[in-house]
């Protein structure tokens, strides 16, 4: 009886339940951070707890959407989904100075072009090194190393098999999860502490969720700069990879 009522509450108040769960996760994460004297690591811990829970839930349900595949926690799909994420990302632009954007405008564009090309080439090299010979497969896996959206878009445009498309999505997800985890750790080494570097970071990494999570865990003030360039990355990738990228790969391995 009690369990039924609780289930009913969580399913009919999905979004509110999700807010409560996230508040609890953040409370635990910040308490841990406080206890070890690393207050700034609070949001990094919260993100890592989120990822661990997503892993456990994914193992348990066999689904693709982490905790939100469990009926009780379906509201997290709304709170953490694309709509509210983008809405919140846009709001962070408030307080950004136009001069800072202008200053890093050109270098932002350069980092976008270099970023897409670099990830694609690395992904393609890995595919070739591990024995893929078909230009379509190589291009699709390279596209996955760009982002987990560019991978399947490229794969379906070129007619790749569903196994290769699945691999390309997995490569993109590895990138996004890894970006969330290692950004706060590596930030001081790579000089990620000013608006220009954040714009370069967004342009080079490009995974919207990875960049969003990575910068949130590093320094929330840098979020708008990184997010701004990152949002162009997937579009640029879907534009360049299936066209120019595929032509180059085909010329080499065709």
Residues in region 175-204 near another protein by CB under 8 A? 175-180, 182-183, 186, 190-192, 196-197, 200-201, 203-204
DSSP H or E segment with residue 63: none
Question: What is the rounded CA–CA span in Å between residue 77 and residue 65?
Answer: 8
Rounded to a whole number of angstroms, the minimum distance from the CB of residue 1 to another protein is: 29
In the bound state with another protein, the residue whose beta carbon lies nearer, of 37 and 204, is 204
Binding mask 71-110 vs another protein (x if CB under 8 A, - otherwise)? --x--xx-xxx--xxxxxxxxxxxxxxx--x-xx-xx--x
Which of 17, 238, 245, 249 contacts another protein by CB under 8 A? 238
Residues 25-64 binding another protein (CB under 8 A) are 25-26, 29, 43, 46-55, 57-59, 64
Q: How many residues bind another protein (CB under 8 A)?
A: 117
Contact between 239 and 206 under an 8 Å Cβ cutoff? The reply is no
At 191, is the secondary structure helix, strand, or coil? coil
User: To the nearest whole angstrom, how small is the minimum distance from the Cβ of residue 186 to another protein?
Assistant: 6
Nearest to 226 by CA among 188, 197, 189, 185: 197
Residues 137-176 that bind another protein (CB under 8 A): 141-142, 144-146, 153, 166-167, 169-176
213-238 core/surface letters (b: 16 or more CB in 10 A; e: else): bbbbbbbeebbbbbbbbbbbbbebbb
Q: How far apart are CA 40 and CA 18, in angstroms?
A: 24
User: Considering beta carbons, is residue 2 or 106 the nearer one to another protein?
Assistant: 106
Q: How far apart are CB 58 and another protein at their closest, in Å?
A: 4
Any contact of residue 65 with another protein (CB under 8 A)? yes
Give the span between the Cα atoms of 145 and 151, in whole angstroms. 7
């Amino acid at each position: 009886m009690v369990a039924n009522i609780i289930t009913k509450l969580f399913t009919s108040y999905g979004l509110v339940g999700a807010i409560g769960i996230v508040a609890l996760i953040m409370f635990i994460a910040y308490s841990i951070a406080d206890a070890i004297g690393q207050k700034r690591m609070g949001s990094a811990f919260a993100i890592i707890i989120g990822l661990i829970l997503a892993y456990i839930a994914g193992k348990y349900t066999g689904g693709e959407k982490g905790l939100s595949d469990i009926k009780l926690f379906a509201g997290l799909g709304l709170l953490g989904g694309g709509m509210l994420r983008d809405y919140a990302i846009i709001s962070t632009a408030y307080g950004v100075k136009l001069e800072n954007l202008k200053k890093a405008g050109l270098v932002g564009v350069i980092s976008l072009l270099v970023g897409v090309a670099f990830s694609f080439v690395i992904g393609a090299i890995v595919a070739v090194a591990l024995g893929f010979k078909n230009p379509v497969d190589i291009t699709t896996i390279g596209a996955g190393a760009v982002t987990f959206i560019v991978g399947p878009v490229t794969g379906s445009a070129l007619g790749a098999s569903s196994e290769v498309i699945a691999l390309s999505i997995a490569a993109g997800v590895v990138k996004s999860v890894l970006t969330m985890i290692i950004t706060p750790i590596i930030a001081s080494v790579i000089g990620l502490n000013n608006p220009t570097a954040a714009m370069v970071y967004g342009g080079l990494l490009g995974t919207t969720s990875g960049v969003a999570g990575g910068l949130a865990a590093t320094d929330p003030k840098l979020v708008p700069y990184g997010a701004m360039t990152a949002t162009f990355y997937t579009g640029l990738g879907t534009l360049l990879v299936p066209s120019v990228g595929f032509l180059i790969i085909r010329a080499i391995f065709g």
